[in-house]
Amino acid sequence: MKYKYDINLKSVGSHIKTARSAAGYNQKEFAEYMGIEQKYLSDVERGVACPSLPLMVAISDKLNVSMNFLTKGNDDTSQDTKIPWETMYYVPEAEGLDDRQYRMILKVIRFMAENLKEE
């Protein structure tokens, strides 16, 4: 099924590879760190496999790049999508999460907000 905003997997893979290399990881050590097979990471970076949203968030978090960079190759923040930490107050299921987990959830929310703005 085609969606209005299909994402080019080859581009996503290329952006992941660029961010991984810039962070100083080789493919093997990054795959081990992420808890995935090196072959799977290779497939993702070549655009053969589609990473799940939780994996994309984890990659974004570990490589300290935005989801926008991973999906589109830029960090254009011209559209303000800042979400304050206090937002988590409205998500009772988030109680007890550590700061890293909060950041991951906020990245998912920001990613979703960015895509809604594009519609």
Share of the chain above pLDDT 90, in %: 38
pLDDT band of residue 105 (cuts 50, 70, 90) is confident
pLDDT band of residue 95 (cuts 50, 70, 90) is confident
| Cβ atoms within 10 Å of 13's Cβ, excluding its own | 22
At 31-57, the pLDDT tens digits run 999 999 999 999 999 999 999 999 999
Residue in this structure with the two tokens 């080859």, named with its chain if needed: 10
Contact predicate 5/117, CB 8 Å: no
Q: What is the 3-state secondary structure (H, E, C) of the chain?
A: CCCCCCCCHHHHHHHHHHHHHHCCCCHHHHHHHHCCCHHHHHHHHCCCCCCCHHHHHHHHHHHCCCHHHHHHCCCCCCCCCCCCHHHHHHCHHHCCCCHHHHHHHHHHHHHHHHHHHHC
- pTM score, whole prediction: 0.63
Domains of the chain (ranges, CATH numbers): 9-118 (1.10.260.40)
